[in-house]
Amino acid sequence: MFARLATASAIALMAGSASADYTLHVLHINDLHSRIEPINRFDSTCSPDDNAEGKCFGGVARVATKINELRDALTADGQNVIVLDAGDQFQGSMMYTTYKGDAEAEFMEAIGFDAMAVGNHEFDDGPEALAEFIDKVSFPVISGNIDVSGSDVLAGKVANHTVLEVGGEKIGIISALATDTVDTSSPGDDVVFTDEATALAEDVAALEAEGVTKIIALTHVGLPKDIAIAEAVPGIDAVVGGHSHTYLSASDPKRAGAYPTWVSQEDGTLVPVVQAYAYSKYVGHLELTFDDNGDLVYASGDTIVLDASVAEDEAIVARVAELNGPIEELKNTVVAESADAIEGSREVCRAVECPMGNLVADAMLDRVKDQGVTIAIQNGGGLRASIDSGEVTMGEVLTVLPFQNTLATFEGTGAMIVAALENGVSQVEEGAGRFPQVAGMKYVWDAAAEPGSRIVEVMVADGDGFAPIDPDATYLVVTNNYMRNGGDGYRMFRDAANAYDFGPGLEVVVADYLAANLPYTPYTDGRISQK
């Protein structure tokens, strides 16, 4: 089923593998983000016509087909199989905003997952929504670096790790969640985070003390942190990750990295790290072989694209249609037309000025300009998809802006705004969602400088031109309520003067702006640049 890896690291890992006696197949997904229905090439909801023409990818019906196909074939051949999810089932489509996790739980049960990591977006509607989700699924939902014992709703529901018995062997599954979830979501004060690597090391020790020698880290921390964890934590045999939406592949030259990505520990032990992009487009298939001592001696695999060649499970298609009934009319409402595709991918909008960022920031500023607001700041992580050219439906807008954020206005000094921009560009290397898309201003930043001192120049709109920002002056600013309340590290906005967080929904603001500018022409104009 797999082509054997011909890399030097794989050959080194295979040395002495003749005594290997146990092979485990790990089927995995991550960051589905409520893409219950098929998606188009922009990761947005695909139209029924395009799906019928074979232009769509993913959706839970295809995920079910591929996982069932692989699992059935492998088990029929006497192989050992587990199915894992590395977190972020929540948030990203009308299915989530309508059913708040119930649909995701139902389809995960139908597919038959064995374990799931808690993702940061599982906290988007607070601990209560995560607790309700956990109550609806039969598999363990785990995270080893969060302490939920002080939470009235989550206590006893999220274990540090779990042990799966497969083919007579015990497989330890440990997990960690990105510690910046306190900034990127809403876990509340009763969920306490500790360092990811430290917590994972403690869980490895606990499992080894129980005699478990085969240990997989199922994480939601992003590929860079996964690599660091694989290097630093002895006893981990493989890392199955999520959060950074990284496309790893053994066969596609357009990949972001190799599947698996090999990481060497200090003693020379090699650890495979895998991830399978996002949005239901791929299923990962990792093959691990262990020797009699429980040491990993071989690993291989690939991500499998769920294109039109993968049939949709008919029962799930029918159930999705049933759930979709109440929201279909709204989703299919055409609200605008775009003259070209509006680029909104995370790879672009979390690193540079992007057309979707300009659209959203312009729309925000236009909505409140009559109030005297002159500056708009939108986090790139709040933009979740691109939109293709032609008719734009409300469903597409909601896929881009699924968080039900509202416009928030406040008064801020020039110094506060500069501090906000410094926060925004402080984690570009990690693909963090805090990257600031703006309107009514422009800025220059230096990627080579240390975080906290990267902003080189800030200019604000002044009549028909721009003028340097005045650190002591007060400006009226519009953002979204998530950022205004400190999300994505924008803590400087929490105590802003005259704050109002209850404006219209951001998706409505953008839909109205598109409708008022027909046909909308996406653009960039150099408002964000690097030194």
pLDDT of residue 14: 47
pTM: 0.81
235: left (phi over 0), alpha (psi -120 to 50) or beta: left
Bridge pairing between strands 390-393 and 334-338: antiparallel
* Span 258-267, average pLDDT: 98
* CATH superfamily, domain at 8-319: Metallo-dependent phosphatases (3.60.21.10)
pLDDT of residue 11: 38
The counts of H helices and E strands in the chain are 16, 27
Domain 8-319 and domain 333-530, same fold? Reply is no
pLDDT of residue 4: 30
User: Which H or E element spans position 105?
Assistant: helix 102-111
DSSP E strand stretches across 269-398: 270-274, 282-290, 296-305, 334-338, 375-379, 390-393
Which residue from 52, 134, 120, 112 is spatially nearest to 87, judged by alpha carbons?
A: 120
Residue 9 has pLDDT above 50, yes or no: no
pLDDT of residue 92: 83
CA distance 34 to 116: 15
pLDDT of residue 505: 84
Q: Do the beta carbons of residue 526 and residue 443 sit within 8 Å?
A: no
Q: Does CATH number 3.40.50.300 belong to domain 333-530?
A: no
Q: Do the beta carbons of residue 53 and residue 112 sit within 8 Å?
A: no
pLDDT of residue 15: 46
For residue range 157-195, what is the model confidence (pLDDT) as tens digits?
A: 999 999 999 999 999 999 999 998 988 788 999 999 999
Domain assignments of the chain as residue spans, ordered by start: 8-319, 333-530
Which residue from 454, 451, 457 is spatially nearest to 427, judged by alpha carbons?
A: 451
pLDDT of residue 19: 52
What would the two tokens of residue 170 be? 């015990």
Q: Do the beta carbons of residue 63 and residue 313 sit within 8 Å?
A: no
